[in-house]
Chain A
Amino acid sequence: MDTLHSLIYGFSIGLQPANILFCFFGVLLGTLVGVLPGIGPVGAISILLPATFRMSPVSAIIMLAGIYYGAMYGGSTTSILVNIPGEAASVVTCLDGYEMAKQGRAGPALGIAAFGSFIAGTLGLIGLMFFATPLAEFALRFGPPEYFGLILLGLTLLIYLSHGSVIKAIMMGAFGLILSFIGLDPINASPRMTFNILDLWDGIDMVPLAMGLFGIAEVLINIEESETPQILKTKIKNLFPSLLDWMQSKGAILRGSVLGFFLGILPGGGAVISSFVSYGLEKRISKEPEKFGKGAIEGVAGPESANNSATAGAFVPLFTLGIPANIVMALLFGALVIHGMRPGPFLLKDHPDLFWGVISSMYIGNVMLLVLNLPLIPLWVQVLKIPYRILFPLILLFCIIGSYSLKNSIFDVLLMFIFGIVGYLFRKFDYEGAPLILAFVLGPMFETNLRQSLTLSKGSFSIFFTRPIAAVTIILAIILLITAFIPYFIKAREKI
């Protein structure tokens, strides 16, 4: 009953005209960003973050969250019509979505992607509502050792689930921590790695780092590719899936929703992994696995549902524990801090308007997205034809303004430029930016909680093993790290 009352309260905030407008703007932009290859929700949120400084915190998070889950809807359009994923969580949709389009079934593919996303998004929100409150109350028992253990587990999970090399992921995590330590020491204010540059005394800000690594780097990568995507010439009809399509997809949608939600909660999990795991699961349990890759509607319904449900799940650790589960949540974490809010178990108590307002806006946003994505598909197809030479200077412009506007500082623009080069080189040398940025965001909390724990225990490390939650999380982190290296040991043994 409390939850229901809180949800009604949330709708009283979400349905305010300004918030409806910001929600609409967020989901529209998110869909656009999802449709356009070359910029994803991370880049878009980084670029728009400074524009939210003058908004209320609730409106800011409503809009930025709208970009995130809106991009999941938009990404499927290009996957199905052009065989180019609009963003990473829609990669898997290319496999069967494009095949369906080639068979003249683009309409049902687009339709089931949109409806599946809507159903999964709604179910994910229900999960968020029912999980967040008890988890936030449980988290009130957490002290510095528990937070240290959780952050360590989160960083380790992210490394464990990284797409590429585990060794490189660990290196990126370590480098992210190092970058987060630049500036004045939080306890005794000694300058660390500031090289006598006054601008570095406050440390490096997340905005120029994220814009450089993800915005500028993406532009540089795309400049190397000059091909305009060829849109499949097919009539898009029957956007409402048939009864047979629903019968075939209903299981995939429900499984994707549940899977996506729980994977979204895990640090390092999120929409991308959810979509891949969902596809793998559907193929494994299908009675006709051979039709996957050749236009199986379950291969579209499952992953698209999973990636949307994961966006709701990702809010659980952010709102309840103050730990971002992925890069987008790390940016929202930064947004909350910039707006003077402390993500964590006290957020629900101190700012229920934020939590319930955002949840209600996500319900509203999901409805808007269903309306935007189906009838407006021909419009989104036209958007794909915008020449990149018009698009990329705009992206650069937004990155420059975004970095500058934080502190009216040219130095931040210079930092963005440097990290843009770094991000480009990361792509060329196969390093992932996600472990770096997550470690960067969590670094200050990691250090503060470690030092506070050691102060509490008068310097004894046993505090991490005598408190049950801290002990469990640290032991889990150690086990994960060891299992991440098992493939290396097996390969080494085979060679011997």
Chain B
Amino acid sequence: MGLRDQMSGFFWLAISIFVCVESAQVSLGTFHSPGPGFLPFWAGVVLGTFSVLLILISILKKKGREKLREMWKGMRWKKIILVLFSLFLYILLLPKIGYITATFFLMIFMSGIIKRSKLWIEIVIPLITVLASYFIFDTWLGILLPRGIFGF
């Protein structure tokens, strides 16, 4: 846990410095008349202070020091990266090819990531899911889902 805390501590310290700088640019005002940047600045200071504390505590802790490699032991990297990549691609393509097309391919891909199955099951279940969701959310509840170049 020590190495993880150090890494995350530095990350949050960087975020806090960034927030403080951004807030100062907006106008801090004074203690008696806070400006728009006042509370974000002090929230950034609190975040930065405690991230420094976290870093110091993790450095001083001698027990339970893990190696970098051990931190990610047992993680199923490939599946996580595949899911995230496909989701990101989906978000980029959604406004272009429309909800039904984009979601259909996403569902096929996602269910295949966990476990492959018979081809017809891998196509039929996503198709039913997508069409049912379109009917429920777009037609019935009136949420206008993206149409794309195919018009649906």
Q: What residues make up the interface of A, taking CB atoms closer than 8 Å to B? A: 50-51, 54, 165, 167-168, 170-171, 174-175, 177-178, 181, 185, 187-188, 190-193, 216, 219-220, 223-224, 226, 387-390, 392-394, 396-397, 400-401, 404-405, 408, 410, 413-414, 417, 420-421, 424, 428-431, 446-447, 450-451, 454, 458-461
List, in ascending order, chain A residues with CB within 8 A of B69's CB.
none
**Sample of 8 further A-B pairs with CB below 8 A, known A174-B16, A396-B106:** A171-B51, A178-B47, A188-B36, A408-B143, A417-B87, A428-B75, A446-B39, A451-B34
Instruction: Determine if B80 and A413 form an interchain contact, defined as CB atoms under 8 angstroms apart.
Output: no
CB closest chain-A residue, reference B95: A410
Asked whether, in the complex, the Cβ of B107 is within 8 Å of the Cβ of A410, the reply is no
B46 an interface residue at 8 Å Cβ cutoff?
A: yes
Residues of B within 8 A of A171 (CB): 12, 46-47, 50-51, 54
Complex CA gap A171/B84 in Å reads 26
Collect the chain A residues with CB atoms within 8 Å of residue B126's CB.
393
Task: Compute how far the CA of A389 lies from the CA of B107 in the bound complex, rounded to whole angstroms.
Answer: 10
CB nearest to B39 among chain A residues: A447
Residues from 94 to 144 in B contacting A, C-beta threshold 8 Å: 94-95, 103, 106-107, 110-111, 113-115, 117, 125-126, 129, 133, 137, 141-144
Q: How far is the CA of A193 from the CA of B90 in the complex (A)?
A: 27
Bound Cα distance from A392 to B33, whole angstroms: 50
Nearest Cβ on chain B to A212's Cβ, whole angstroms: 11
Among A50, A389, A405, the most chain B Cβ lie within 10 Å of the Cβ of A389
A439–chain B nearest beta-carbon distance, Å: 9
Say which residue of A223, A387, A417 sits within 8 Å of B80 (CB atoms).
A223
Q: Per a CB cutoff under 8 Å, which of B43, B111, B146 touches A174?
A: B43
Closest B residue by C-beta to A187: B36
A174-B50, A223-B76, A405-B137 given; A396·B36 CB < 8 A: no
A196 to chain B, nearest CB (A): 12
Residues of the B chain whose Cβ atoms lie less than 8 Å from the Cβ of A460: 32
Minimum CB distance partner of B45 in chain A: A174
A459-B33 contact, Cβ under 8 Å, with A178-B40, A220-B80: yes
Q: B59 interface residue, CB < 8 Å from A?
A: no
User: Which residue of chain A is the closest to B74 with respect to CB atoms?
Assistant: A224
Q: Please tell me if B57 contacts chain A, counting CB pairs below 8 Å.
A: yes
Measured CA separation A451–B31 after assembly (Å): 10
Q: List 26 A-B contacts (CB under 8 A).
A: A54-B141, A170-B46, A174-B47, A185-B36, A190-B36, A192-B26, A193-B40, A216-B87, A220-B80, A223-B79, A224-B79, A389-B110, A389-B117, A392-B114, A396-B106, A397-B107, A397-B133, A401-B137, A405-B143, A408-B144, A424-B80, A428-B4, A430-B4, A451-B34, A454-B33, A459-B33
Query: By the criterion of a CB under 8 Å from any partner CB, how many residues of chain B are at the interface?
Result: 64
* Contacting pair B57 A224 (CB below 8 A): no
Also in contact, A390 and B111, with CB within 8 A (given A397-B103, A414-B91): yes
Verify if B1 is at the interface (C-beta below 8 Å from A).
Answer: yes
B14 contacts partner chain A, Cβ-Cβ < 8 Å: no
Bound state CA distance, A458 and B143, in angstroms?
A: 47
Within 8 A of A (CB), among B16-69: 16, 19, 22-23, 26-27, 30-34, 36-37, 39-40, 43-44, 46-47, 50-51, 53-54, 57
Q: Which residue of A lies closest to B102 (CB)?
A: A400
A430-B79 contact, Cβ under 8 Å, with A175-B47, A397-B133: no
The 7 closest A-B pairs by CB, nearest first: A459-B32, A389-B114, A185-B36, A174-B47, A393-B110, A405-B143, A174-B46
| Docked CA distance A188–B53 (Å) | 35
Distance in angstroms between the alpha carbons of A408 and B7 in the assembled complex: 37
Q: Which residues of B contact A428 (CB under 8 A)?
A: 4, 75
Please tell me if the beta carbons of B129 and A404 are within 8 angstroms of each other in the complex.
no
CA distance A49 to B39 in the complex (A): 30
A451: chain B residues at CB < 8 Å are 34
Smallest Cβ-Cβ distance to B134: which chain A residue = A401
By a CB distance below 8 angstroms, the chain A residues around B133 are 397, 401
Could you tell me the distance in whole angstroms from the C-beta of B106 to the nearest C-beta in chain A?
8
**Contact A51–B141 (Cβ < 8 Å):** yes
| Chain B min CB distance to A298 (Å) | 35
CB neighbours of B34 from chain A (8 A): 450-451, 454
**A408, chain B: closest CB distance, angstroms:** 6
Evaluate contact between B32 and A224: CB separation under 8 angstroms: no
Q: Which residue in chain B gives the minimum CB-CB distance to A460? A: B32
- In the bound complex, residues from chain A placing their C-beta under 8 Å from that of B74 are 224
- Interface residues in B70-87 by Cβ distance below 8 A to A read 74-76, 79-80, 83-84, 87
Taking a contact as CB atoms under 8 Å apart, the answer to whether B87 and A396 are in contact is yes
Question: Are the CB atoms of A181 and B39 closer together than 8 Å?
Answer: yes
Chain B residue at minimal CB-CB distance from A224: B76
Q: Evaluate contact between A193 and B27: CB separation under 8 angstroms.
A: no
Q: Say yes or no: A404 contacts B145, CB within 8 Å.
A: yes
CA distance A410 to B39 in the complex (A): 30
Interface status of B88 (Cβ within 8 A of chain A): yes
Can you name the residue of chain A whose Cβ is closest to the Cβ of B116? A389
Chain A residues with CB under 8 A of B80: 220, 223-224, 424
State whether A410 touches B94 (Cβ < 8 A). yes
Q: How far is the CB of A73 from chain B (nearest CB, A)?
A: 26
Q: Please give, as numbers and ranges, the residues of chain B lying within 8 Å of A188 by CB-CB distance.
A: 36
Whole-angstrom distance between the alpha carbons of A38 and B135 in the complex? 26
* Structural contact, A410 and B32, CB atoms closer than 8 A: no
Q: How far is the CB of A41 from chain B (nearest CB, A)?
A: 21
A223 with B50: CB separation less than 8 A: no
* Contact A223–B113 (Cβ < 8 Å): yes
A206 to chain B, nearest CB (A): 18
B117 CB to closest chain A CB (Å) equals: 8
Closest partner residue, chain B, to A177 (CB atom): B43
Measured between C-beta atoms, what is the minimum distance from A2 to chain B in Å?
39
Contact between B111 and A393, CB atoms less than 8 A apart: yes
A54 and B142 form a contact (CB under 8 A): yes
